[in-house]
Structure 1
Amino acid sequence: MSTESTIHDSIDTAATTVGSLWPIHSFVTANPLAGFEDQEFSEAVAQAADLLGGRGYPSAETFRAALQRGQIDLEILDAELSEAGYENDPETLLDRMAEVTDATDSDPDTSTDRVDQVLTKWLSAFLDEGSAHWSMPNRKAGFYTAFRGVAEHDSEVPSEGIITDLPETPTETIETVLASYSESQWVPIFEQQLAALPGWTGLIKQRADDDGAWQSAYPISLEGYLAARLALLDAVGADIDPSNDSIDPDPAAELAGAFLRAWEETYRGDLVEAVATESQSLNDGDSLGRPDAQLVFCIDTRSEVIRRHIEAAGDYETHGYAGFFGVPMEYQGYDTDVSVAACPPILDPQHHVTDVPTDDETQESHDRLTGIRETADEIIETLEANAATAYGFVETAGSGYGLALAARTLVPGRVHDLFDAAENSVPDDHEFCDPLVHHQHTYTGDLPVGLTTEEKVEYAATAFDLMGWEAFSRLVVFTGHASETANNPYDSSLDCGACAGNPGGPNARVLAAICNDDEVRAALREQGFAIPEDTVFLAGEHNTTTAEVELYDSDVPESHAADLEQLRADLATARENAAAECAESMGADASSGVSETERRAADWAETRPEWGLAGNAGFVIGPRELTSDVDLDGRAFLHSYDWSTDPDGEALEAILTGPMVVTQWINTQYYFSTVDNAVYGSGSKVTHNPVGNIGVYQGNGGDLMTGLPLQSLMAADDDSYHQPLRLSTVIHAPVDRVTDVLADHAELADLLDNNWLSLTVVDPRQDHSAFEYERDLEWSPVFELADAELAESTAPAAADD
Structure 2
Amino acid sequence: MSTEPAIHDSIDTAATTVGSLWPIHSFVTANPLAGFEDRPFSEAITQAADLLGGRGYPSAETFRAALKRGQIDPEVLDTELSELDYEEDPEVLLDHMANATDATEGDSESATDRVDKVLTKWLSAFLDEGSAHWSMPNRESGFYTAFRGVAEHDSEIPERGVLTDLSASPTETIEAVLAPYPESQWESIFEAELAALPGWTGLIKQRADSGGEWQSAYPISLSGYLAARLALLDAVDADITPSKDSIDPEPTAELAGAFLRAWEATYRGDLVENVAAESQSLADSDSSGRPDAQLVFCIDTRSEIIRRHIEATGDYETHGYAGFFGIPMEYQGYDADVSVDACPPILDPQHHVTDVPTDDETQASHDRWSSIRETADEIIETLEANAATAYGFVETAGSGYSLALAARTLVPGRVSDLFAAADDHVPDEHEFCEPLVHHQHTYTGDLPVGLTTEEKVEYAAIAFDLMGWEEFSRLVVFTGHASETANNPYDASLDCGACAGNPGGPNARVLAKICNEETVRAELRDRGFEIPEDTVFLAGEHNTTTDDIELYDGDVPKSHADDLAQLRADLATARENAAAERTESMGVDDTAAVSETERRAADWAETRPEWGLAGNAGFVVGPRELTSDLDLDGRAFLHSYDWSTDPDGDALEAILTGPMVVTQWINTQYYFSTVDNAVYGSGSKVTHNPVGNIGVYQGNGGDLMTGLPLQSLMAADDEPYHQPLRLSTVIHAPVERVTEVLAANEELAELLDNNWLSLTVVDPTQDHSAFQYERDLEWSPMSELAEANTVSPTAPAVADD
Q: Which TM-score bucket, shorter chain as reference? A: over 0.9
Measure the CA separation in 2 of the matches of 1:301 and 1:561: 31
The one-character-per-residue Cα deviations of 1:147-184 (angstroms, maximum 9, x if unpaired) are: 00000000000111001111111100111100011111
Which letter maps to 2:68? Q
Measure the CA separation in 1 of the matches of 2:299 and 2:722: 19
| 2:282 alignment partner, SS class | coil
Which letter maps to 1:731? I
The answer for the alignment partner of 2:476 in structure 1 is 476
Which letter maps to 1:66? A
1:246–1:775 CA distance, 2 compared to 1 (3 A): closer
Measure the CA separation in 1 of the matches of 2:640 and 2:572: 24
Contact 2:46 2:248 in 1 (8 A): no
Contact 2:685 2:709 in 1 (8 A): yes
The answer for the alignment partner of 1:734 in structure 2 is 734
Contact 1:275 1:627 in 2 (8 A): yes
| 1:282 alignment partner, SS class | helix
Which letter maps to 1:405? L
The answer for the alignment partner of 2:425 in structure 1 is 425
Shift of 1:398: 1.7
1:291-330 aligned within 5 A: 291-330=291-330
The one-character-per-residue Cα deviations of 1:116-170 (angstroms, maximum 9, x if unpaired) are: 0000000000000000000000000000000000000000001110011111111
Measure the CA separation in 1 of the matches of 2:384 and 2:92: 53
Which letter maps to 1:217? A
- Asked whether 1:667 is paired with 2:689, we answer no
1:132–1:766 CA distance, 2 compared to 1 (3 A): same
- Asked whether 1:47 is paired with 2:50, we answer no
Shift of 1:244: 5.9
The one-character-per-residue Cα deviations of 1:202-247 (angstroms, maximum 9, x if unpaired) are: 0000000001110010000000000000000000000001216754
1:534-613 aligned within 5 A: 534-613=534-613
Measure the CA separation in 2 of the matches of 1:591 and 1:247: 54
The one-character-per-residue Cα deviations of 1:286-305 (angstroms, maximum 9, x if unpaired) are: 45200000000000000000
Contact 2:509 2:538 in 1 (8 A): yes
Measure the CA separation in 2 of the matches of 1:98 and 1:514: 57
Measure the CA separation in 1 of the matches of 2:432 and 2:29: 33
Contact 1:768 1:786 in 2 (8 A): no
Measure the CA separation in 2 of the matches of 1:597 and 1:82: 47
- Asked whether 1:644 is paired with 2:644, we answer yes
| 1:108 alignment partner, SS class | coil
Measure the CA separation in 1 of the matches of 2:774 and 2:481: 36
1:245-264 aligned within 5 A: 247-264=247-264
Measure the CA separation in 1 of the matches of 2:148 and 2:675: 39
- Asked whether 1:63 is paired with 2:67, we answer no
- Asked whether 1:443 is paired with 2:443, we answer yes
The answer for the alignment partner of 2:132 in structure 1 is 132
| 2:546 alignment partner, SS class | coil
The answer for the alignment partner of 2:744 in structure 1 is 744
The one-character-per-residue Cα deviations of 1:731-783 (angstroms, maximum 9, x if unpaired) are: 00000000000000000000000000000000000000000000000000002
The one-character-per-residue Cα deviations of 1:575-605 (angstroms, maximum 9, x if unpaired) are: 0000011111334334321011001000011
The answer for the alignment partner of 2:782 in structure 1 is 782
1:214-613 aligned within 5 A: 214-243=214-243, 247-283=247-283, 286-613=286-613
The answer for the alignment partner of 1:81 in structure 2 is 81
The answer for the alignment partner of 1:705 in structure 2 is 705
- Asked whether 1:72 is paired with 2:68, we answer no
1:284–1:471 CA distance, 2 compared to 1 (3 A): farther
Deviates more, 1:401-410 or 1:56-65: 401-410
The answer for the alignment partner of 2:761 in structure 1 is 761
Shift of 1:257: 0.1
Which letter maps to 1:576? E
The answer for the alignment partner of 2:161 in structure 1 is 161
Shift of 1:336: 1.6
The answer for the alignment partner of 1:621 in structure 2 is 621
- Asked whether 1:118 is paired with 2:118, we answer yes
| 2:538 alignment partner, SS class | strand
The one-character-per-residue Cα deviations of 1:508-542 (angstroms, maximum 9, x if unpaired) are: 00000000000000000000000000000000000
Which letter maps to 1:553? D
Measure the CA separation in 2 of the matches of 1:279 and 1:319: 17
- Asked whether 1:695 is paired with 2:715, we answer no
Measure the CA separation in 1 of the matches of 2:772 and 2:2: 49
Measure the CA separation in 2 of the matches of 1:551 and 1:435: 16
Shift of 1:283: 4.8
Which letter maps to 2:374? E
1:643–1:38 CA distance, 2 compared to 1 (3 A): same
TM-score normalised by L of structure 1: 0.97
Contact 1:768 1:784 in 2 (8 A): no
Measure the CA separation in 2 of the matches of 1:496 and 1:245: 42
| 2:243 alignment partner, SS class | helix
Measure the CA separation in 2 of the matches of 1:247 and 1:764: 47
Shift of 1:403: 1.2
Which letter maps to 1:133? H
What is the aligned-residue RMSD (CA, Å)?
A: 1.4
Which letter maps to 1:439? H
| 1:737 alignment partner, SS class | helix
Contact 1:277 1:785 in 2 (8 A): no
TM-score normalised by L of structure 2: 0.97
Shift of 1:425: 1.3
1:786–1:92 CA distance, 2 compared to 1 (3 A): closer
Measure the CA separation in 2 of the matches of 1:198 and 1:388: 33
The answer for the alignment partner of 2:205 in structure 1 is 205
The one-character-per-residue Cα deviations of 1:19-51 (angstroms, maximum 9, x if unpaired) are: 000000000000000000000000000000000
Deviates more, 1:414-423 or 1:1-10: 1-10
Measure the CA separation in 2 of the matches of 1:426 and 1:124: 36
Shift of 1:110: 1.3
Measure the CA separation in 2 of the matches of 1:486 and 1:385: 15
| 2:782 alignment partner, SS class | strand
The answer for the alignment partner of 2:15 in structure 1 is 15
Which letter maps to 1:569? A
Unaligned runs of 5+ in 2: 789-801
Which letter maps to 1:744? A
Contact 1:328 1:351 in 2 (8 A): yes
Measure the CA separation in 2 of the matches of 1:424 and 1:639: 35
Measure the CA separation in 1 of the matches of 2:120 and 2:588: 41
Contact 1:329 1:350 in 2 (8 A): yes
| 2:153 alignment partner, SS class | coil
Which letter maps to 1:763? D
Contact 2:763 2:769 in 1 (8 A): yes
Contact 1:51 1:246 in 2 (8 A): no
Contact 1:767 1:785 in 2 (8 A): no
| 2:501 alignment partner, SS class | coil
- Asked whether 1:633 is paired with 2:633, we answer yes
Shift of 1:405: 1.1
Contact 1:768 1:785 in 2 (8 A): no
Measure the CA separation in 2 of the matches of 1:380 and 1:670: 32
Shift of 1:406: 1.3
| 1:770 alignment partner, SS class | strand
Shift of 1:616: 0.1
Contact 1:616 1:667 in 2 (8 A): yes
Which letter maps to 2:756? W
The one-character-per-residue Cα deviations of 1:81-133 (angstroms, maximum 9, x if unpaired) are: 01012110100000000000000012222110000000000000000000000
Q: What number of residue pairs does the alignment pair up? A: 788
Shift of 1:394: 1.0
Measure the CA separation in 2 of the matches of 1:192 and 1:233: 13
1:386–1:48 CA distance, 2 compared to 1 (3 A): closer
Contact 2:46 2:247 in 1 (8 A): no
Shift of 1:386: 4.0
Contact 2:296 2:321 in 1 (8 A): yes
